[in-house]
Structure 1
Amino acid sequence: MSSNHLDTLYRQVIMDHYKNPRNKGVLENDSLTINMNNPTCGDRIQLTLKLEEGVVRDAKFEGEGCSISMSSASMMTQAIKGKKLDEALQLSEVFSQMMQGKEYDDSLDLGDIEALQGVSKFPARIKCATLAWKAMEKGIKEEQQ
């Protein structure tokens, strides 16, 4: 597949998650709420997680921001549901490596998340892409204390 065709496909995936976000909303009842923002661009997110017995049972987000931050939140909530906490953190580490343009464990099935790999070419946008992931890491680490 040509690079241009792949870029177009990735843009379509990102825009699909932006226009039709998965897991948009707020979880009630015993959920963990994490609020984060990116002051440099104004992106903000409220992530709610339902964590039970060391597993992410559910994840939803609310917020506002650019297509990168909102589509990344949509993709992340899809990816972490049903994962053990350490698996969700490992996925976040792999995503962080991908955003930094580093080699990463490509044996993990990243699904739609791979569409965000081009963001690594735009350092100003990396914080947009990682906002939801940082919120998830913060929530899990708070839960584990």
Structure 2
Amino acid sequence: MSSNNLDQLYRQVIMDHYKNPRNKGVIEDGSLTVNMNNPTCGDRIQLTMNVEDGIVTNAKFEGEGCSISMSSASMMTQAIKGKKIDDALKLSKIFSDMMQGKDYDDDLDLGDIEALSGVSKFPARIKCATLAWKAMEKGLTDGTKE
């Protein structure tokens, strides 16, 4: 597939998650709630998660922002459901490396998340893409301490 066709496919995936977000909403009995914003562009997110026996059993988000921040939140909530906390945090590290243009474990199937790889070419947009991931990290590291 040519680079131009791949870019177009990635744009379509991002716009699909933006227009039809997965896991949009609030978990009323969410054990973890994290609110974060990106003051430079106005993106904001509220992430709610349920964690049972060290596994993220549910994750939803509410928020406002650009197509990149909202589609990234949609993709992230899909990716972490059913994952152990350590695996969700590892996935976040891989995503962060991808956003910074660093080498990452490309043996791992990132699914739709890979559509955001082009964001690394636009440094001003990296914070948009990572907002939901930072919220997840904060919730899983700060919120699960006994």
| TM-score interval, smaller chain | over 0.9
Q: Give the aligned partner of residue 60 of structure 2.
A: 60
Unaligned 5+ runs, structure 2: none
Name the SS for the 1:71 alignment partner.
helix
> 1:4-83, aligned counterparts within 5 Å?
4-83=4-83
Name the SS for the 2:50 alignment partner.
strand
Q: Give the aligned partner of residue 112 of structure 1.
A: 112
Structure 1 residue 81: deviation in Å? 0.2
1:30 & 1:61 partners in 2: Cα distance?
Answer: 11
Q: Give the aligned partner of residue 134 of structure 1.
A: 134
CA spacing shift, 1:81–1:124, aligned 2, 3 Å: same
Q: Give the aligned partner of residue 100 of structure 1.
A: 100
Structure 1 residue 109: deviation in Å? 1.4
TM-score by length of 1: 0.98
Number of equivalences: 145
Name the SS for the 1:94 alignment partner.
helix
Deviation digits for residues 80-104 of structure 1 (CA, Å, limit 9, x no counterpart)? 0000000000000000000000000
Name the SS for the 2:89 alignment partner.
helix
Residue 25 of structure 2 aligns to which amino acid in structure 1?
A: G
Name the SS for the 1:144 alignment partner.
coil
TM-score by length of 2: 0.98
1:30 & 1:101 partners in 2: Cα distance?
Answer: 34
Using the aligned pairs only, state the percent identity.
81
TM-align CA RMSD: 0.7
Deviation digits for residues 13-49 of structure 1 (CA, Å, limit 9, x no counterpart)? 0000000000000001242100000000000000000
1:63 & 1:30 partners in 2: Cα distance?
Answer: 16
Unaligned 5+ runs, structure 1: none
Structure 1 residue 144: deviation in Å? 3.1
Residue 89 of structure 1 aligns to which amino acid in structure 2?
A: L
